[in-house]
Amino acid sequence: MSAVPARELAPDGPASRPGAPPHLLVVEGLRRQFGGVRAVDAATFSVAEGSITGLIGPNGAGKSTTVSMVAGSLRPTAGRIVFGGVETTGLPAYRVARLGVVRTFQIAGVFEQLTALENLLIGAPNLRGERLWDALVGKWYWKRSDREAVARARELLVRFGLEEKENDRAGTLSGGQRRLVEIMRALMAHPRMLLLDEPTAGVAPSLVHLLQDMLEELRDEGITMLLVEHALGVVERLCDTVIVMAQGRTLATGTMRELRQRQDVLDAYLIG
């Protein structure tokens, strides 16, 4: 589907309020069907620019499928996605990424045979190392190819406390360290929005605290995030607005305190 100018799409989307931050992401009536099963069924929500918005729900609620459609890695059966005033419905993932939407996954995806530094460099835009074969050539290639990207990667390694792991192969890192590498690689692309799919899964408690601090810093720097997370304590700390999904539908939106008072939300978690 072709992109449509923002003025034709009411970019503030559903539930826009006077004085509220503009919506960077608007999802309307999103559906995804696999055979006779509707994994996502008319999901509708929006994400305010400069926010961390939570997306929660029981297993099988359709959260990851929704994120895949927003990221462009899965084509919707129906509905509409608008990012930054441009309709991205059905666009391939690489085009969505060029608009500034970058995703991480439930299981941290790293190139195990590459070093931590080389993994970050793969995320740099306009770098020849986007091709895996070039990445495998080695560190000498990166230094000669793009010193600015190397400097950026090293700044991120220092910021996330992994500078001593720069030359370690990613396959030797802990689960939490791999997660940090994946997020840093996403940041190499200078995203406007991060789609974070269970970023604390398999991460040690000490690194969870670091990760939360870093996500808050990134939000304060202007990066918008949609956070899929089962650890509700993490969601409560990071997210002002939380969207609840159940059985493929968006069930409720509010703060965690408000949502805990809703019987339909409690029932969704109890019965899935």
Secondary structure (3-state) at 79? strand
CA distance 225 to 240: 12
Question: What pLDDT does 244 receive?
Answer: 97
Asked if residue 255 belongs to a domain, the reply is yes
Q: Give dist(CA 238, CA 227) in Å, integer.
A: 9
Predicted local distance difference test score (pLDDT) of residue 149:
87
The Cα 194–Cα 35 span in angstroms is 30
Say whether 110 sits in a helix, a strand or coil.
coil
Give the sign of the dihedral formed by CA 222, CA 188, CA 173, CA 67: positive
Same structural domain, 24 and 100: yes
Cβ(66)–Cβ(56) below 8 Å? no
Q: Which domain holds residue 140?
A: 111-172
In a domain, 253, yes or no: yes
Q: What is the pTM of this model?
A: 0.85
- Answer yes or no: do 104 and 197 share one domain: yes
- H/E element holding 263? helix 263-271
Asked whether residue 197 is assigned to any structural domain, the reply reads: yes
Cβ neighbours of 258 (radius 10 Å): 12
Q: Is 201 helix (H, G, I), strand (E, B) or coil?
A: coil
Alpha carbons 125 and 102: distance in angstroms, whole number: 12
How many CA atoms lie less than 13 Å away from 41 in the CB half-sphere? 12
pLDDT tens, residue order, the chain (272 aa): 333 333 334 333 444 445 556 899 999 999 999 988 999 999 999 999 999 999 999 999 999 999 999 999 999 999 999 999 999 999 999 999 999 999 987 666 788 889 999 999 988 886 554 444 555 555 555 545 577 888 999 999 999 999 999 999 999 999 889 999 999 999 999 999 999 999 998 888 888 998 999 999 999 999 999 999 999 999 999 998 999 999 999 999 999 999 999 999 988 886 55
The pLDDT, as a whole number, for residue 269 is: 80
In degrees rounded to 5, what are phi and psi of residue 219? -60, -45
219 in the same domain as 86: yes
CATH at 249: 3.40.50.300
The residue count of the chain comes to 272
Residues 203 and 257 in one domain: yes
Please report whether residue 56 resides in a domain: yes
Domain assignment present for residue 183? The answer is no
Say yes or no: 141 and 115 in one domain. yes
* Alpha-carbon gap, residue 229 to 227, rounded angstroms: 6
Same domain, yes or no: 89 and 13 = yes
pLDDT of residue 245: 96
If asked whether residues 95 and 219 sit together in one domain, one would say yes
Beta strands in 101-217 (DSSP E): 101-103, 193-197
Residue 185 domain flag: no
Q: Which amino acid is at 37?
A: V
Regarding whether 93 and 228 lie in a shared domain, the answer is yes
The residue assigned the tokens 């370690």 is: 168
Asked whether residue 51 falls in the same domain as residue 141, the answer is: no
| Spatial separation of the C-alpha atoms in residues 105 and 120, rounded to whole Å | 16
Q: Are residues 18 and 66 in the same domain?
A: yes
Within this chain, do residues 73 and 20 fall inside the same structural domain, yes or no?
yes
Assess if residue 180 is contained within a domain: no
Question: Tell me, what DSSP letter sits at residue 42?
Answer: E
Q: How far is CA 15 from the centre of its chain?
A: 22
182 within some domain:
no
Whether residue 120 sits in one domain with residue 41: no
Count structural domains, the chain: 2
> Cβ contacts of residue 180 below 8 Å, gap of 6+?
160, 162, 207, 210, 211
